[in-house]
Structures are given as structure tokens and as C-alpha cells.
Amino acid sequence: MNHDILKVSNPNIKENPTLKSVYTKRAFPYPLHIGFTTSIPVEIIYAAGHKPIDLNNVFILNDSQRLVREAELSGFPRNLCSWIKGMYSVISKAPTAPAGFRFDSWEGLDIIIGVVQGDCSNTQSLMDILKDEGKKIIPFSYPYDRNKDVIENEIAKLEATFSVSREQTMTMKRRLDVIRKKLILLDEMTWKTNQITSFENHIWLVTSSDFNGDYNKYSNELNIFIEEASNRKPFKNNIRLGFVGVPPILEDFYSFVEQCGARVVFNEVQKQFSMFYLEDDIVNQYHKFTYPYSIFNRIDDIRHAIKERHIHGILCYTQSFCHRQLDILSFKKHLEIPILLIEGDIPGKIDERTKLRIESFLEMICYEKEENLINV
Ligand code: SF4
């Protein structure tokens, strides 16, 4: 292996054994494809010149039912969250993913960054399985107590792994913040000027976790979208909803809600993934990120949005077999607003029972609005 080639291709590469062993396996060593299980400091991956890939987005935007089935055929239990099974299949299928995958030139994944604390209770075991199968794994953790020194340390470790300086991370953060400012505008066009649909808000915000692996392209497409949407007449949905919990696995979820005369004007976790904080410091940004820490930071954020966005009710979405189902207890205790818990399992369309529950919930909100029982 001629490492001089790597140094010419990527001046950030130093003598890092993890990266070196990966590079030696690739015909075209640069950039690496870095998969991750939930939001991580993507600035570092871009600063190193690599391609970040949110595995959740690859899973859900492709043949997700088949990917879940394939994981079950590999031995994954039926009573395990479909997102975990889907991510496993995405990783284990690489680099032989079928045509039609989200990335035009899918070349597989070189490294997986697994968030082993602050996201999913299953990730650690998933990483062990993948490691055993010979995948390169890098762990990343968000401390439950939101300790800034620990967050700083995790970010510094990731920078060291990819041989990126803090200055390089910050330069990339400033570039990405330009895109984030446009996403803030898109979000305002959702709840202030009412020109963006529930699904459009969801998809733009959720895909900003990796900017679809190419932030320049994402930024250009976002410009075009905002330009087109700014010429729309405002939507006139009667009921304004908040959506909390994990992003839905149900493909027609948002369109069904809109068919019923409501619109989601706040996608809580997706907005968190978009990092609207525009902080001067990378550590502060990931410290403000509410999703991986205690539920109480999320509740403050949701409460603020309910007031600011004049939200009439909350749809709380969780996955079957997910520990986050317990969050509903705290939401119901601390949010004084109608809340409906929706549970999804396998990818696909909403079942009739869930449709009925959503319809009944929205009828109840309509009644309470007419009777002035909702104070917004
Ligand atoms: S929905 Fe819950 S169980 Fe599934 S991946 Fe997310 S955190 Fe884990």
C-alpha cells in the first residue's frame, strides 16, 4: 500500500491504524463512506473529506420491508425494533446494495459510528454483532448528565480518529450553519407562513443529519425548494399539530394526517437533528442538542414550541419494542395539551385501527377548539 497516495488525496490523514486498515481494502481510497446510527458531529466527517451516511435514512428510503425481513432471516428476533433490523441489513448488505439505493454510486460503508449512549439501548449489541462480522466500528457517546467536559472529550476523540483539528471542524461548522439558516427559514415557512407541508418539513429536517452525504448538492436543492415554496398560497389546515418521538416508519403518516384536515407544524426530533442553535462553538452545539440527554430538556423545547406555534395537540410516535415508549408518561405528566400515542412496527402504510384513533383524536381537538377548551 502506498500511503503517499493517501497523503496526497487527503492531507488530514496521519498515521491512524483504524483508517489505514480500511483504506488498504479500497480501490479508490478517498473519500471514505462513514455510516452512523443517529446524529453525530457530522462536521468532523465532512472536514476530513469523507461522506457521512445516516443509516436510518438509507434504510427508510429504500426497500425497507425487505431489509427488515432479511435481518430476521439472519436471526434477528421478531420482537426487536425494525429500525435496528433495517440498519443491520443496510450495513451487512454493503457493498452489494441493489440498484435504486438512495446513493447513485453506492460503494458500501467503510466505517460505522455507533452511538452507544444517548440514543438506543440496542446499539451496543448491534455494534458487537457487526464487529464480530469484521466491520470497522467507532463508538460515540452522549452522556446522560449532559456534562460538557465529556461531550468535549467525545468530540475531540472523533477529531483525533479522523485527524481533524478543531479549527477544521469549526470551519466546516460555519459552512453547514449557512445551510442550517436556510432550514430555519423552511421551518418558519411551515409554522409561520404555512407554506410547507408536514412531510416536506419532516424530510428536509430529517435528512439534514447527513445532508444526504453531499452538503453542496443538498444546499442547492434546498435553495430551489424554498424558492418554489415561497410562491405558494398558505395552507388552511384547521388543526395544528406537534409531532414528538422518533421519526415515523409509516410512509403515509403525514399525508393521512393532512387528509384529516390537520398539519404538523412542529417535528420535534427532526428539528433537533437540524441543529438550529448556530452556536459559536461545536461543543455548545452538541450540548444544546436535546434528543440524546434527559427527557426534561426535550419537554422544555416542546413546551416552547406549543406556545410559539399555536399547537392544538401532540402526536407522540414510538416504535414497538422501543424503550422510548416510556417517554409518553413524562409527556402526559408535563405537557398540558391533548396527546395521542401512536405505535408503529414494520415499515409500510398506517393500519386501519391507527387511522381510526388519529381521526377520533382530531375530532376531539375540533370539538375542544369549538368549545374554546384548548388554550392556544
Ligand atoms: S426506535 Fe427506539 S428501539 Fe428503535 S432504533 Fe430508535 S431508539 Fe432504538
Say what the pLDDT of residue 375 is: 61
Assess whether the C-beta atom of 305 lies below 6 angstroms from ligand 1.
no
Say what the pLDDT of residue 17 is: 52
- Cβ atoms of 62 and 99 within 8 Å: the answer is no
Residues 99 and 151 in one domain: yes
The structure's pTM equals: 0.89
Q: How far is the CA of 84 from the centre of ligand 1 (A)?
A: 7
Say what the pLDDT of residue 5 is: 30
Residues 181 and 307 in one domain: yes
The answer to whether residue 376 sits within a structural domain is no
Say what the pLDDT of residue 251 is: 93
The CATH number covering residue 300 comes to 3.40.50.11900
Q: What is the pLDDT of residues 14-27, one digit of tens each?
A: 445 555 555 444 44
Say what the pLDDT of residue 93 is: 74
Residues 345 and 228 in one domain: yes
Query: How sure is the predictor about 343, in pLDDT bands with cuts at 50, 70 and 90?
Result: very high
Residues 139 and 174 in one domain: no
Residues 24 and 154 in one domain: yes
Residues 83 and 57 in one domain: yes
Assess whether the C-beta atom of 81 lies below 6 angstroms from ligand 1.
yes
**What angle separates helix 148-161 from helix 166-191, to the nearest 10 degrees?**
120
> How many structural domains are present in the chain?
2
Residue bearing the CA closest to ligand 1, atom 6: 120
Cell 416510556, residue located: 326
The answer to whether residue 375 sits within a structural domain is no
Assess whether the C-beta atom of 291 lies below 6 angstroms from ligand 1.
no
Among 38, 57, 64, 83, residue to substitute to test ligand 1 (most atoms within 8 Å of Cβ): 83
End of a domain among 141, 164, 187?
A: 164
> By C-alpha distance, which of 313, 324, 317 is closest to 360?
313
Lowest mean pLDDT among 92-101, 165-174, 311-320: 92-101
Residues 134 and 88 in one domain: yes
Residue bearing the CA closest to ligand 1, atom 1: 319
Among 68, 80, 89, 120, residue to substitute to test ligand 1 (most atoms within 8 Å of Cβ): 120
Q: What is the pLDDT of residues 111-136, one digit of tens each?
A: 999 999 999 999 999 999 999 998 89
The CATH number covering residue 131 comes to 3.40.50.11890
Among 36, 59, 324, residue to substitute to test ligand 1 (most atoms within 8 Å of Cβ): 324
Assess whether the C-beta atom of 34 lies below 6 angstroms from ligand 1.
no
Q: What is the pLDDT of residues 58-102, one digit of tens each?
A: 999 888 999 999 999 999 999 999 999 999 999 987 654 444 444
Query: How sure is the predictor about 174, in pLDDT bands with cuts at 50, 70 and 90?
Result: very high
What letter would DSSP give residue 324? G
**With 70 as the cut, is the pLDDT of residue 48 above it?**
yes
Q: How far is the CA of 31 from the centre of ligand 1 (A)?
A: 29
Residues 157 and 190 in one domain: no
Say what the pLDDT of residue 108 is: 73
Query: How sure is the predictor about 13, in pLDDT bands with cuts at 50, 70 and 90?
Result: very low
Residues 231 and 128 in one domain: no
Residues 42 and 117 in one domain: yes
The answer to whether residue 132 sits within a structural domain is yes
Residues 104 and 7 in one domain: yes
End of a domain among 114, 148, 164?
A: 164
Report the C-alpha gap between 3 and 89 in whole angstroms: 32
Mean pLDDT of the chain: 89
Assess whether the C-beta atom of 246 lies below 6 angstroms from ligand 1.
yes
Residue bearing the CA closest to ligand 1, atom 2: 322
Lowest mean pLDDT among 37-41, 105-109, 186-190, 199-203: 105-109
Q: How far is the CA of 82 from the centre of ligand 1 (A)?
A: 8
Assess whether the C-beta atom of 82 lies below 6 angstroms from ligand 1.
no
Residue bearing the CA closest to ligand 1, atom 3: 322
Report the C-alpha gap between 117 and 293 in whole angstroms: 9
Assess whether the C-beta atom of 60 lies below 6 angstroms from ligand 1.
no
Q: What is the pLDDT of residues 195-245, one digit of tens each?
A: 999 999 999 999 999 999 999 999 999 999 999 999 999 998 789 999 999
> How is residue 144 written as a grid cell?
446522560
Report the C-alpha gap between 57 and 62 in whole angstroms: 8
The answer to whether residue 220 sits within a structural domain is yes
**With 90 as the cut, is the pLDDT of residue 360 above it?**
yes
Expressed as residue numbers, the domain containing 16 is 3-164
The answer to whether residue 324 sits within a structural domain is yes
Assess whether the C-beta atom of 83 lies below 6 angstroms from ligand 1.
yes
Q: Which residues pair with 242 in a beta bridge?
A: 266, 314
End of a domain among 164, 195, 216?
A: 164
Residues 121 and 245 in one domain: no
- What DSSP line would sit under 298-327, residue for residue? HHHHHHHHHHHTT--EEEEEEETT-GGGGH
